[in-house]
Structure 1
Amino acid sequence: MNAPRPTDAHPYLRAATAGLRHHARAHTLHGAPADRLHLDTLHAHLTAAHQLLDQLTDSTRPPHPAAGRHLVAAHLRLWQATAAVHDAFHTVPADDGEGSAAEECRPERLPEGPLVLTICQRHLAASHAIRRKTTPTDLNTPLQGHTTTCGQ
């Protein structure tokens, strides 16, 4: 059996990246502010990327500790971005004008959107997963001491 060519590696991840690039270009043309549906979808993408990064970190850290440390830092920062998108969701008014910065995250109360998994339920599940491996201090610490071999 032949090894996959580099261009064939991770086709779904490449397709998701291409989809994000396409969306970013299309959004630049329209320039409309993000609505709750947009933020919910972006949050779903970020939590999926967070889960993938978590798995990659776990499998990379033992054989390559230095790379694993960089992935742990990325894992933390991606979680911070995911949490910020979740917070933004609650500050954007709903289509019916409801919702404000004071709105609480209440997973038991289903906000508009797919009934299968709302943003609050998804965020709660993801937060349980990250808290099993990360301390609150780590989650709130800014990125410091991060070095790379790339020139800037």
Structure 2
Amino acid sequence: MTSPPRADDAHPYLRAATAGVRHHTHVTGRVAKPEPVDRPHLDILHAHLTALQRLLDQLAEAARPPHPGAGRHLAAAHTCLWQATAAVHDAFHLLPSAAADSSECRPESLPEGPPVLTICQRHLAAGHIVRRKTTPTDLDRPPHITTCLR
């Protein structure tokens, strides 16, 4: 007999990513003076947020036909996550760029383009998906609060 699959086995990479985020949060919380935020950290955080958006979008699409209420809540979570992703993208551009200070850095010579633009490319791709499924009014709306019924 085989045991039923665990719920977290459906997305094993998500479990690993969650463990990495928890570890980073735990280590940062233990340090007496946390390191200043820099662009690479925000780029990685942005990558995690956009990956979570894709996952939420897939889950919302799968939940909608059999459970429309759950699908609506997952879609709302997707919108809230987009708002957080946009805020991280904006914060990224407000931080100073180390590449601009270095006279030896020549990102235009890289075949994949300047590294500073990878977050922008990822953000534009995620924004395209969000705007196809969400109205501008929904994107500007503050997050909703629900109470647990159980």
| TM-score (normalised: structure 1) | 0.80
* Structure 1 unpaired stretches of 5+: 99-109
Per-residue deviation, 1:97: 5.9
Partners in 1 of 2:115 and 2:99 — Cα distance?
10
Q: In the comparison of the two structures, how many residue pairs are matched?
A: 136
Give me the CA root mean square deviation.
Answer: 2.1
User: Partner of 1:149 in structure 2?
Assistant: 148
Aligned-partner residue type, residue 18 of structure 2: T
* Identical pairs, percent: 64
Q: Which residues of 2 match residues 74-113 of structure 1 at below 5 A?
A: 74-96=77-99, 110-113=113-116
Change (3 A) 1:16 1:130: same
Q: Which runs of 4+ in 1 moved over 4 A?
A: 6-9
Matched, 1:71 2:74: yes
User: Partner of 1:123 in structure 2?
Assistant: 123
Partners in 2 of 1:20 and 1:82 — Cα distance?
16
CA radius of gyration, larger in:
2
User: Partner of 2:58 in structure 1?
Assistant: 55
Q: Contact 2:89–2:119 at 8 Å: present in 1 too?
A: yes
* Structure 2 unpaired stretches of 5+: 102-112
Structure with more of its chain in helix, by fraction:
2
Select between 117-126 and 23-32 the one with higher mean Cα deviation: 23-32
Secondary structure of residue in 2 paired with 1:32: coil
